[in-house]
Structure 1
């Protein structure tokens, strides 16, 4: 049994260093995600899934339910339920697809953008304070790691 992480963290053909990095990175990212979740705006009682949809629409613009489901890696029926709840809350709206009359797109409303803005401001403020505590070299490492982590998050 390995000293760190789950004994199955090492897969056949992986070196100990790759398995160790995988375990340590997974642990660190999960803890940071939980910590950032605690920094949510106090008036925000939306689920993590609902916030992810608002963030996606705010960042990428109007999307179909299918595109949202694929982006968030959930099944379309689950995304339909999330979108319906957000519509009911006035945070998103369903609109006609610009080129396919059989589809609809989901669009974030001004109220939804305000929720995202308040949430981003609060979390970014917390993270900025933590980053100020690091050395310039440590911040540079994280700046260079951010696109790599994004690529990992979006990989199949």
Structure 2
């Protein structure tokens, strides 16, 4: 894999009217993220509902409070989200094994299928775009993934 040398610091004015790198990168990542999120299963699930389903898929059954904390939303908002998912048959409420005051929310088989199908569609969209690139461009993106992971971990 080719090694990328750091790009020279180019003042915004000398980039022919283009925004600075930080702005361009931020805007591009947001656009790409929106485009990838548009690839979802046939189920009529909002992005916030999908986040709950995906989290349950990854972490297993959780309390509504834990789901709200994980997603950074207020408990009443999570209650509405869970109610919609429950009504659609994508999650189920079960008694907490050690705390009778709590319930656990878990994926149903239909909810697990929504997560699988959404992930499949999103990965397929990205794979098609990558396949259209040259091997050199894919190598650059591979290196960029490492750099972005490092940035995200800081």
Structure 1 and Structure 2 fold alike (TM over 0.5)? yes
1:7-18 equivalences in 2 (<5 Å): none
In structure 1, the gaps of 5 or more residues are 6-16
1:57 aligns with 2:59: no
Partner of 1:110: 109
Inter-CA distance 24–70: structure 2 relative to 1 (3 Å threshold):
farther
TM-score (norm 2): 0.76
Partner of 2:37: 37
Cα deviations by residue, 1:109-156 (Å, 9 ceiling, x for unpaired)? 00100111111111111111222325342232243145446547xxxx
Partner of 1:14: none
Cα deviations by residue, 1:24-52 (Å, 9 ceiling, x for unpaired)? 332122101211122223x2221111111
How many equivalent residue pairs?
136
Partner of 1:137: 139
1:90-129 equivalences in 2 (<5 Å): 90-129=89-128
**Counterpart-to-counterpart distance in 2, 1:55 and 1:112:** 9
Q: Alignment partner of 2:34: what SS?
A: helix
Q: Alignment partner of 1:101: what SS?
A: coil
**Counterpart-to-counterpart distance in 2, 1:149 and 1:83:** 33
Inter-CA distance 56–145: structure 2 relative to 1 (3 Å threshold):
farther
Partner of 1:71: 70
Q: Which has the higher contact order (CA 8 A, sep 6+)?
A: 2
Partner of 1:12: none
- Following superposition, the deviation at residue 91 of structure 1 comes to 0.3
Inter-CA distance 26–136: structure 2 relative to 1 (3 Å threshold):
closer
- Please report the RMSD computed on the Cα atoms of aligned residues, expressed in angstroms: 2.3
In structure 2, the gaps of 5 or more residues are 1-12
**Counterpart-to-counterpart distance in 1, 2:81 and 2:153:** 25
Inter-CA distance 126–83: structure 2 relative to 1 (3 Å threshold):
same
